[in-house]
Structure formats: C-alpha cells, structure tokens
Structure 1
Amino acid sequence: MTTIHFSGGTIWRGAGAPTARSLLVQGGVVVAFDDEADAAAVAARAAGPVESVDLGGGFLMPSFGDGHAHPLFGGLEAEGPAVRDCRTVDEIVAAVAEYAAAHPGEEWIVGASYDPSLVEEGLFDARWLDAAVADRPVVLRAYDYHTVWVNSRALELAGIDAETPEPVLGEIMRRADGTPLGTLREWGAVELVLDAAGVRPADERMRALRRAGEYYLERGVTWVQDAWVEPGDVDSYLEAAERGILPVRFNLALYADPRRFAEQLPVIRESRRRVDALGSPMLTANTVKFFADGVIESETGALLEPYCSGLHDHGDRGLGMTVWEGDSLRDAVLAVDAAGFQVHIHAIGDAAVRQALDAVEHAIDANGPRDRRPVIAHAQLVDEADLGRFAELGAVACMQPLWAQLDPLMTVLTVPRLGRARADRQYRLRTIDSSGAVLSFGSDWPVSSGAPLDGLAIAVSRRTPDGVPEDGWTPEEILPVERALDAYSTAVAHQAFADEASTPWGRIEPGASADLVLLARDPRDTPAGDLARVPVLATYLAGSPRYRAAT
C-alpha cells in the first residue's frame, strides 16, 4: 500500500474547512492531517517506504472537476485542420489548404473550431472554402458547436440546394436567390452534412479520448461530465475503458433528441447497463442530456422577450428556438427521471431556463422525492422570477465562468441581440450562489478553454484578460475566490454524486479519495489578472500522480 506524506505548503481542504500544513495519504485515501499525519508518517516508515512530497510553498487542494464539457470533440480537434487560433477568414482558408495538401487521401476534411465573430452575423460563404479545396468536402465547426461552415462540395454530397426545405430544429443560411450560403445552424441542418461525412475512425477516437484526458490532467482536472454522448460515442468510451486508456474519470450524459425520443429511451437504458456492466472506476453513464434551446449569438437561444437586434426578419422566431415544443420536455424529463437518471439540461435563454425548471418541478411532483441533483447547464439569462427556483428544486446551476466577460463574442454577437439592459443580466454567478443553490462550474471545452484557472480568473474579476473593464463587467456578480474554487471542485463533486461513491472525492477529508491538484501558489492571494498563469505542478487521482510538470 503506497503511503504519501505531503508537507511544506498550504493544504486547502475545501470551502469552510480549516487549512492544513501536512497530509497523509495511504492506498489512495486521505488518512490524517498535521500532527497526526506527521506521527502516522513516522510510524509508517517503520513498516515500509513512505513517499515524501515537499509542496515547495505551493497550494494543494481538491482536484478540479468539469461539470459540462465535450471531451471527445475537444480531443478530435487535433485530428483536423488547425483553425482555432486563426484570426481572419484568409488564415482559416490557408490552414485548410495546407491540411488538405498534407492529407491527399482524406475523403472528408473535418475540423474545428473557427471563431464565428470574424464575419458579420457569423455568416460564412462556401465559396471562401472552395478557394482552398474544391474537389473534396470540407466541414468546419464553429467554436459554439451549434454551427458549421462547409464548402460547395460538402453541400452537394449532403444534398443541400435551393430546393432543400428548412429542416426541423435547424437553419440553412441562404443567399438572396435561395441557394445555400455555406453556413448551417443547429442540429437539424448540421446533421445533414455530418451524417454524410460519417463517424470518425475508431483509432482517431481513441487518440482523442486519450488526448482529452491528458489535456485535463495538465490543468488539474480529474472528473469530467461529457455533456453530449451519442450511441457511437458510448462504444468509443467503452473501448477506451476496456483498453485502460481513460486518464481521468468520465460521466456520460446520453443525448435525448425530441425527434426520436420514444425509440431512444430503451437505447439510453441499454447504454447505462453496458457501462455499469463494465464496472470501470473511470466511467459512468448516469445522466441524460437535453437541449432546451440553442445559443444567443445565432438567435436560437429561447427568450421570454424578442431579440432586439433587427438583424433578421424573425417572423415566429423572434423568441428564438424552443427545441422541445409544448409539454414534450416535461414528459421526457419525467420519463428519464422515473428511470433513475440525472437530468442535465442545456438552457441558455430565460425562456429555456424556465422551461427546464418547470420540467424538473413536474418530475419531482409526479415521481416523488429522491436525491436527484438535476443540472441546468449554462443558465446564461435567468428571469428574476426564476432565480430562487434553483435552490427550491435542488437544481445545480452549472455555469461557465469564462463566458462572463466582454470579449468579442459578447460585444459583437451577443449584446446587439439582447440589448444592453438585458445583456447586463447574464451570468449571475453570485446571485445564484447567494440564493442557496449549488453553483458548479464547467468549461464547455472545446467551446472555450478547459483550464479551470482561466475560468476562475474571470469569475473573481468579470474582466477580460486585458483587464477590461477596470471594475469588472456587472461587478455585483463577482464571486469571492474561495466560492469560485469551491464551484470548480466540491460543487462539481456534488453534481457528480461523489459523496455517494464508495470512496468520495471533492474534499480533502479522512476517508476521501486523494484526488488532488498542486498549484504553484495560493490563488486566494493571487491578483485576478495573474490567476490564469498560476502553474499546475501536479495532479493526483486516488493518490496516483497522473501529471507532474516538467522541472
């Protein structure tokens, strides 16, 4: 049994718990602190080796969790053209051309994630990609993963032309003559090309999962909620778990589609059974994912009051897109809740948040009391009347702190669509936290950075990395640093039902799994502008050092 004695730094055990100066871990489990830990370490040395870890004045804390992410998507980005860091359309086109030349045998060129704010209204033309590759299909996902930009060959192979009707739950952006422009929004339209492209090869998906896990370990994360899992993805995760190549713990949120939910539910149940039967400590499938709406920047987020940008002839879309019409979300949530799943609902706009909370409330009333921990993800815009309902219903608000800043996505695409007054009511982190609700943090990686310290820097300042605005955007929503640390660790563990695990994690206390991250300095004493640059020195999973920074 491996014994590790940590000392020489600050050991932050979780919000509200006293800090410690030393820690003893045996067999991957926290045993003792301070004088008791020191004495136990001396006794343990008499029986066998003890690894001594000098924290070097650093800050040891419960490892981070990511309450909402898309690790398979993130891992796959490295398989295609490198467009994420491109800052102009010409740079993207050049990157695609370079990739195509280096991969002449690749039938479909699939990549991610381009910046939709580079072009007015986020409308990208197929002909621009044709200049890079005309003879093979090209599909690029925007970094919101709700939009794709394709070339003319991809439109042709997907059968999308001027006569193609608007798909259910999707939008084909068109030129004045009705021909498809090359930008497709939301599932119904995006799937037309992704289905034509087919599933990525198994070896690519294995590399992607390994790459995603390593990415997270380097950033101090040991548990990830994959928030959009299709049946083929379950196969990939099972294969990776069987091969022992999952570097961190994953919980799968199995995707529920309103167009085919009736036939999906038995498949969802079977997916959970298969994961449970494997019995891997690295993999669970306890959650079902719903989309209540789209995103604000595409005007598909569902709002209680119409968009005010005047950028489109809204017609009946002035309030955005409601994915589950009528009572269908309520009924579907009721069904998966009755089957014992946790629900995880993407809800961006205030109308979507209300619909999600109504569905959760209905499930509680109909199915009776139990420990559900339903998750409302994003909660970008919440009506005043709904702010207190998270705590009342026991719903976890899983929010993305990195988005609470006036970056180009916000200033170019979001604020013009909401208007300033409504825009200033977004991402009410402190209000929801103060309401008594559980506030957990997620990154939505690869939509945005998966590094918790990047998100924490914004949560405690509401400033861009350049320090704008000086006092923070909507500064009343700034979180105290310990609350932000808790939201990215202990609160994610609550979301994950970690306290019900045979060896719980998320806090440093006797009997808990030694899931730890060592930071080079104390984030509580670090200026917000420097938080994102605090080095992660080591990440431990059940006492095992899964990552150590190079020295």
Structure 2
Amino acid sequence: MLDLLLTDARVRTFDPNRPWAEAVGITGGRIAYVGAAADAPAAKETRRLGGNLLSPGIIDSHNHLLLGFDSDAVSLEGAETLAEVRSRISRLAAERPDLDWVCAENAVYSIVDDRRPNADDLAGLADRPIFVTTYDQHSVWLNDAALTILGIHDGADIAWGRAERDSSGRATGWVTDFYTSAMTSAGLAALQRDIPMYSPERRYKKILGSLDMATRSGITTVVEPQVPVAEIGLFDRALREDRLSSRVIAALFHPVDSAPEFRQELRTAVDDAPRSDRLQFGPIKLYADDVIEPHTAWMLADYANRPGHRGHPSAPIGELTKIVTELDRLGFQTHTHATGDGGVRLALDAIDAAQATNGTRDRRHGIVHVECLDPADLPRFADLGIAAAMQPRHASPDLIEGTWMDNVGQQRWDRAWRVKSLMDSGAHVALSSDWQVGEMDPLVGIYSALTRAGLDGSSSWTPDEIITLDQALFGYTREGAWAWHAEDRLGVIRPGAVADLVAWSADLYRLDPSALLEQRADLTIVGGQIVHDTGATGGEQGEQGLNRVDIAAKTLNPDRSCAGHGHQ
C-alpha cells in the first residue's frame, strides 16, 4: 500500500520514458508509482489535485537564506525617494527606542540623483547610529553617528568594507565592497562586534524565515551560495533542531585574497561539517568581478557612459585561475559570481585551465548570473560542462532600465542574460531567484523567463531570449538537479526518485504568462513528507494516516514585489 497517492493531476515528470502522467504514488519517501489514475495502487492517503499541475520540486540554485528579512530592521523596498527613505527610518527610530543601532535594508542606488547617498542625507533622523544596506548587499550607507562610533571619521579602516572619502579625506558615509568583505572571517567578526543586525541569533532567525518562505513557494532544494566558514554552525543548529523544511546545499565563501592554506581549511571544514539528506556542504563560492550598476563589474570594453573605464576583476589577472585550479584539484565544485562579459570570460578561462591542468571531468563548476555574455564565449559553457546559474527576473526592464542599461550601452543589450541562447547551445542553465535580492517565488522567475517583461506586463525587453514554460520548469528542476550532481534522484518524477514534489494551484501549462503571478504552490512535499499545505487539495485519509511536517508561518508570505536588482 502506498503512503500517499496524488491523483487527478496533470503530472509533468521530466522523465523522457513517460513525460506525462495522471497519478503519482509515494512510499517510504520515494516515488513508487507513476502512471494512469485508474491503475494506481491503494494508499493510506489520497489527494485529488483537480487537474492541476504536479511537477518535481523546485531547485533554487542561488538563494541567500542568510540575507532574509530582519524583523528589527526596516525594509526600504519600494522606497524610491530620499523623503520616503527618511520617513521609514525615522519611524523605526521613534517606535524602537530600545535599538542601539537603527538598521535598514534594501536601499536603491538611485535614491539621490547623480551622486552617492551620504551621511548628510540621514541627518536628524535619530540620536543613534544608522546602518543601511543596499538591495544588492554590495554597499552600506551610514550616518554621522555611525561614522564616529566606528572610528571612520578618525581615519580608521573597517574590515567589512571600504569607506569612501571626499577630496579632503573626510568620510562621506558610503561604504563599498561590503558583501565580499563582510563574509571574510575578519569582516564577519568585526561586523558582528559592531552591528547588532549581524548577531548569530538574528542571522539564525533569517535562515529560518527564508526556509519557511522557500517551502511555501514550492522550493524543495535551496542552494545557499555564500556561507562563511564561521557560520557553518547556524546550519548545523537548524539541522539539529529539525528546522530544515527544504533541503539545503551550502556553498562556503572563499575570499579571493585568502592565503593558499585557506583552501585546505575549507577541505577540512567540509569534511568535518554535519551532513544529512537535508544538508550538505561542498561547493565553493568565488567572485570573478563585482556588479555592473556601480561600474565595478569587469567589462571587455569601456562602459558606455564612462569612457576609459572597464571596471576591475576581483583579483589580479591569473589569480582566479590559480584558485580554481587548486580547488578543483582538492575535489571542490566552484560557484563563481561573474556579471560583466570580462568577468564571465575570466571565470571560463579559470575553469578551462583547471580542467586541463588536473585532467578532471564532470566537476560541473558553475558560473553565477552571466549578465553580459560575449558571443565568442557562449559555446564554452556546453564545451566545458559548466552550469550557468541564472536569474530570469534580473532581466526584467522594470529593474534594470536606467542604470544597468545605460552602463552597458544599447550596443551590448543583445548580450544580456542569454538564457535561451545558452539552452539552445546545449549548456546546462539552472534557474534561481537570488533571494533576497530578487523575489523568492519561482512563479515570478518563470513569468520573467516567459516574457522578459516587468511584473506589470509592459515593455518586454530582449524578447529573443524568451523561453517556454516547459524550458523554465526544466531549468528549475532537471537542470538544478544536474548542476548539483543529483539528477539520479531529484528533479524528476519516476519510480525510485526521491519524492520531492510541488502541486500548483492550476495547470500552469493552460495559462497565459500574466496569470502565473496569481498562482501559488498548494502542496510542497520533501522526501515524501508534506511540508506545506494550503488545504486546497482534496484529501481522503485512511486509518493509518501519513506523517507530515508542520511549518509555521513565521515570516511574511512570499512577496512578489522587489526593491531592485543586484547580485551576490
């Protein structure tokens, strides 16, 4: 007898031997039956899905659980003017006199015109230090009190970023290179000493809130792409406390300026780390360059609006190749951030050299974002067996018109987020959200992949890169499984595969793209356990019943709004 039968469904299996079915049976956490509803065995519990779509669970291949939302900070999501930013921060300061620091998240770069925000813009809002992160986590905005407490006004350096100074040497209140510096051992230690928002307890709460959101969104595997070695214990705690409602693959962060001995420390950390069917460590996160919006991504030619400037790589030329080669030799799979076409080429060259030097095959190194791809480099992804971890939502015109488009220049727009071109070339494209830089809800990413338009449906951009619903789901399931060496058990519905499934609120294949944004995950199943249930599916339960995991709604519901666009 089956533990659970899901029937009266339109089942997209992604099994070439049986692409579609009507019913799926689960026993012992594995798929035991796929086929016609009339032929299904008896089950302890039956769920009738009313003709709605059942698919493999979503694999989000780049999702920052550690960023999350902080309940003791104010979100600047949707705040497009300095007046609105000041109003929200002032309100939090007034309502929370108990907070030693007033913290805010998700500020956009364009909050002021033609310059960086500065400390004067935050004057008069609080008698305490103010700490604001940008939506992409690459910059921080401080008020005068914060600059004084941190010693920046007195010329002190900070381990978690680079404080900008004006021509007279006075700190402006703007800090760059934040996220890459903050996740080093020294940077994180200083940040946790200085800023309450980064305490281990608040970071742990962010992980739990993000995981709950993932489960409610139909995500059954989350790749957390940037975990400092010092924070492995947070995930170990979640495992011990049975809070991993979705599977987690945690990539450890490797600062590009680390000493060679650090790579052996990573090997030891991964070998000694806790692991289970819900948690694994092992990929290594690297940076080839920074981001396009502040002109810090590495470009092959000058920025369109800054002649003579091409940004910069994250490490001296040749250094990334040395690092990737050594990590590859140590058995690591890498997950390298690259946004500019120059950064993407650096990452490709590094992986090419590593495989040639070590003679390795099928390591499945990944390159993240791939925002601007030179035509000459497009076939190299398939040739080198590289997984492109890309975010369809990032190509939406409502997020990138202005800064990104202007910086790159119209002559290079056809290089932007070439999802379809890469898929057509035979490359593996694992789709993802980049939460909380972008919305976590995979339906937002799928809609964006199908339209290349904003969430209001207007102004489709670079439509030659539009893909189909089937391609998008394939990218979020089968390709995600392949990227993490799990295609034998995840991302597919066939007998013997792990029962990671999501039942949607409609048959997505029968909807116009615009209607996708009104749908939701009704049922999320991880390893045969129901971990999210809206109650919308019809159920018939036998006497023995079925074990299930109760996931409390501890955070906001999945939000389809987004302050801006960025990347880690």
User: TM-score scaled by structure 2?
Assistant: 0.88
Once the two structures are superposed, residues 62-88 of structure 1 have per-residue CA deviations (whole angstroms, 9 ceiling, x without a partner) of 0111111211111x4334123223332
Once the two structures are superposed, residues 128-158 of structure 1 have per-residue CA deviations (whole angstroms, 9 ceiling, x without a partner) of 223212x322211111111111111222233
In structure 2, distance between residues paired with 1:70 and 1:242: 21
Return the match for 1:302 from 298, 301, 318.
Answer: 298
Identical-residue share of aligned pairs (%): 29
Q: Hey, what does 1:437 align to over in structure 2?
A: 427
Q: CA deviation at 1:298?
A: 0.8
Q: CA deviation at 1:170?
A: 6.2
In structure 2, distance between residues paired with 1:15 and 1:291: 35
Q: Hey, what does 1:477 align to over in structure 2?
A: 465
Matches within 5 A, 1:127-526: 127-133=120-126, 135-161=127-153, 172-175=163-166, 177-187=168-178, 191=182, 194=191, 197-198=194-195, 200-275=198-273, 278-310=274-306, 318-407=309-398, 409-469=399-459, 472-499=460-487, 504-526=489-511
Task: Output the amino acid matched with 1:88.
Answer: T
Assess if the C-alpha contact under 8 Å between 2:478 and 2:487 holds in 1: no
In structure 1, distance between residues paired with 2:175 and 2:359: 42
In structure 1, distance between residues paired with 2:482 and 2:209: 26
Assess if the C-alpha contact under 8 Å between 1:88 and 1:118 holds in 2: yes
Assess if the C-alpha contact under 8 Å between 2:138 and 2:179 holds in 1: no
Assess if the C-alpha contact under 8 Å between 2:111 and 2:117 holds in 1: no
Higher share of residues assigned helix = 1
C-alpha distance 2-107 of structure 1, shift in aligned 2 (>3 A)? farther
Assess if the C-alpha contact under 8 Å between 2:34 and 2:493 holds in 1: no
In structure 2, distance between residues paired with 1:518 and 1:363: 41
Deviates more, 1:518-527 or 1:284-293: 518-527
Task: Output the amino acid matched with 1:373.
Answer: R
Q: CA deviation at 1:206?
A: 2.6
Q: Hey, what does 2:66 align to over in structure 1?
A: 72
In structure 1, distance between residues paired with 2:426 and 2:259: 33
Q: Larger RCO: Structure 1 or Structure 2 (Cα < 8 Å, ≥ 6 residues apart)?
A: 2
Q: CA deviation at 1:370?
A: 2.8
Task: Output the amino acid matched with 1:107.
Answer: D
Deviates more, 1:388-397 or 1:336-345: 336-345
Q: CA deviation at 1:457?
A: 0.5
Task: Output the amino acid matched with 1:344.
Answer: H
Assess if the C-alpha contact under 8 Å between 2:54 and 2:502 holds in 1: yes
Secondary structure of the structure 1 residue equivalent to 2:277: coil
In structure 1, distance between residues paired with 2:179 and 2:473: 38
Task: Output the amino acid matched with 1:140.
Answer: V
Q: CA deviation at 1:106?
A: 2.6
Secondary structure of the structure 1 residue equivalent to 2:9: strand
Secondary structure of the structure 2 residue equivalent to 1:369: coil
In structure 2, distance between residues paired with 1:482 and 1:127: 50
C-alpha distance 160-523 of structure 1, shift in aligned 2 (>3 A)? same
| TM-align CA RMSD | 2.3
**Number of residue pairs matched by the alignment:** 528
In structure 1, distance between residues paired with 2:372 and 2:180: 25
Assess if the C-alpha contact under 8 Å between 2:138 and 2:178 holds in 1: yes
Q: CA deviation at 1:217?
A: 0.9
Say if 2:78 is the partner of 1:85.
yes
C-alpha distance 121-526 of structure 1, shift in aligned 2 (>3 A)? farther
Assess if the C-alpha contact under 8 Å between 1:15 and 1:483 holds in 2: no
Assess if the C-alpha contact under 8 Å between 2:140 and 2:178 holds in 1: no
Q: Which runs of 5+ in 1 are unaligned?
A: none
Deviates more, 1:483-492 or 1:262-271: 262-271
C-alpha distance 249-122 of structure 1, shift in aligned 2 (>3 A)? farther
Q: Hey, what does 1:13 align to over in structure 2?
A: 13
User: TM-score scaled by structure 1?
Assistant: 0.90
Once the two structures are superposed, residues 272-295 of structure 1 have per-residue CA deviations (whole angstroms, 9 ceiling, x without a partner) of 1232xx332221111000011111
Q: Which runs of 5+ in 2 are unaligned?
A: 537-568
